[in-house]
Amino acid sequence: MYNFQKHTANSYQQVHVETGVAVADPHKLIEMLLEGGLEAINKARGAIERGDQATKSKAIRQAVLIVEEGLRSCLDPTAGGKIAEDLERLYKYVAWRLTVANLRNDLEILQECFDLLSTVHESWCAIRGTVGSGRLQ
């Protein structure tokens, strides 16, 4: 019975995320990526504290994927100029530090990555309505 409930909850969450993505504007999509990265880091933190290596690794891989293939792919260096370049370097740094945190089970590094993405998230939310598309301009 537990597996059925877990599967049902996971399915609901997946549909909820897919529905959110389908109706979100480009700005909201980046916000959702940032939130997903932060959530994955928190999940990894909890897994380290419980000694759950499999969940920790999966959560950190998810966070790296969000940063590398989600957030970095949204950057437009031509339109974004220096800000896009700075974010590119930041995202590369966060992905690298997440990998180190995974290897070392390092909660301090996870906190550093969380703080960096949280700052970007807060800034991104603050400019809501002033950006014409999801690409940094």
The tens digit of pLDDT for each residue in 91-106 reads 999 999 999 999 999 9
> What is the number of structural domains in the chain?
1
Q: What is the domain extent for residue 43?
A: 26-126
We report the CATH number of the domain holding residue 63 as 1.20.120.340
- Give the 3-state secondary structure of residue 25: coil
> What phi and psi values does residue 84 have, to the nearest 5 degrees?
-65, -40
Domain assignment of residue 46, yes or no: yes
Res 43 pLDDT > 50: yes
1: confidence class by pLDDT, cuts 50, 70, 90 = very low
- Give the 3-state secondary structure of residue 63: helix
Domain assignment of residue 131, yes or no: no
